[in-house]
Amino acid sequence: MTELAATPLSAHDKASRNLQLTADGQLRHFITLDGLDRAMLTDILDTADSFIEVGERTIKKVPLLRGRTVVNLFFESSTRTRSTFELAAKRLSADVLNLDINTSATSKGESLSDTLLNLEAMASDMFVVRHSQSGAPHFIAESVTPGVAIINAGDGRHAHPTQAMLDMLTIRQNKQQFEGLKVAIVGDILHSRVARSQIRALQTLGAEEVRLIAPGTLLPADVDSLGCTVEYDMRKGMADLDVVIMLRLQKERMEGALLPSEREFYRLYGLDTDKLALARPDCIVMHPGPINRGVEIESAVADGPQSVILNQVTNGIAIRMAVMSMAMSGQVAERTSRSRQQGGEQ
């Protein structure tokens, strides 16, 4: 598969790259994987690798964000993602504010822009944003005062870049490289922001094949433009796989009868020991969570020797530490450069 970074960037990717990177190529925001090249994704993985040992220390802290304020701005509920972002920020020695949107001013009619202005007035340095509307973190990144970093913790059906990157870190730990890998993403691809980010990450990092396995009702209308192999028969699709990533059925996002029943979905697309045996013997099993046992995956597989699901959770902290520290470093460098330019003009 041709590496995306080797082809000319589309207008969309150029805009995403310009928003997220400083003039000298450092990370400023982390909104999407669109526009980021293989070198940047590898840098994120390498930085995360250096943070893994922090979690093994007696005192699990480094001083990289000491004195900085990180605001977890979650407009959509999430226990796992918010907890790992909070732990990541605290391990970087940042002060953390978890904003409860249900009791915040936005639930009383205040606009998002005004909420952001008030948070900026409190000298916040970083917003970690999760929102049900696609594009919300992008809007916030364009709206905030220069110097405030925006990290996307998941937006609508659009993107979940830190989840994709922790998945890439888990794959690299187990497979060492991406070249030659055949990876399948199985299940509710239509509603999955994770799947879109995983596809982009795998293609950028050089995976040989990204295979989508799902019923037609759970595939996006633009599936042909994603550069993936599509397979409707899971047993056929499991052949020669190095990695299989199961997705949660996002019933809260479904409109209409997309499935005959959960039982039928599990029979056809649930990962059990029989279907896993059709893949390569060293195929690893992944799931971004939360897991619905007996719907997407059998307990014997989720807890089995080929499962790396708990490793994904551990790696989530390291990846989020990497992204937060890199974005803050980029913001500081850009602010310093801007100050020097203003001083020169005077």
Question: What ranges do the domains of the chain cover?
Answer: 4-156+314-345, 161-307
Residue 54's alpha-carbon distances to 90, 94, 179, 193, 318, in angstroms, are 12, 15, 29, 29, 9
- Say if CB 273 and CB 160 are below 8 A apart: no
| Binding-site positions for carbamoyl phosphate | 80-81, 130, 160, 163, 289-290
Radius of gyration of the chain (CA): 20
Secondary structure element (H or E) that encloses residue 208, with its range: none
| pLDDT digit string, tens, across residues 100-142 | 666 555 555 567 778 788 888 888 999 999 998 889 999 999 9
Strands (E), the chain: 69-74, 95-100, 126-131, 149-155, 182-186, 209-213, 229-231, 243-246, 284-286
- Say if CB 35 and CB 9 are below 8 A apart: yes
Q: Tell me if domain 4-156+314-345 and domain 161-307 are identical in fold.
A: yes
Question: What pLDDT is recorded for position 237?
Answer: 97
Question: What pLDDT is recorded for position 50?
Answer: 94
- Banded pLDDT at 253 (limits 50, 70, 90): very low
pTM of the predicted structure, to 2 decimals: 0.91
| pLDDT digit string, tens, across residues 53-99 | 998 889 999 999 999 999 999 988 788 899 999 999 999 999 999 88
| Binding-site positions for L-aspartate | 108, 193, 248
| pLDDT digit string, tens, across residues 263-301 | 888 999 999 999 999 999 999 999 998 888 998 999 999
Give the percent of the chain with pLDDT over 90: 68
Cα–Cα distance measured from residue 71 to residue 96, given in angstroms and rounded to the nearest whole number = 6
Options 3.40.640.10, 3.40.50.1370, 3.20.20.370, 3.40.190.10; CATH for 161-307 is 3.40.50.1370
| Binding-site positions | 80-81, 108, 130, 160, 163, 193, 248, 289-290
Find out if CATH 3.30.360.10 is the number for domain 4-156+314-345. no
- Say if CB 324 and CB 92 are below 8 A apart: yes
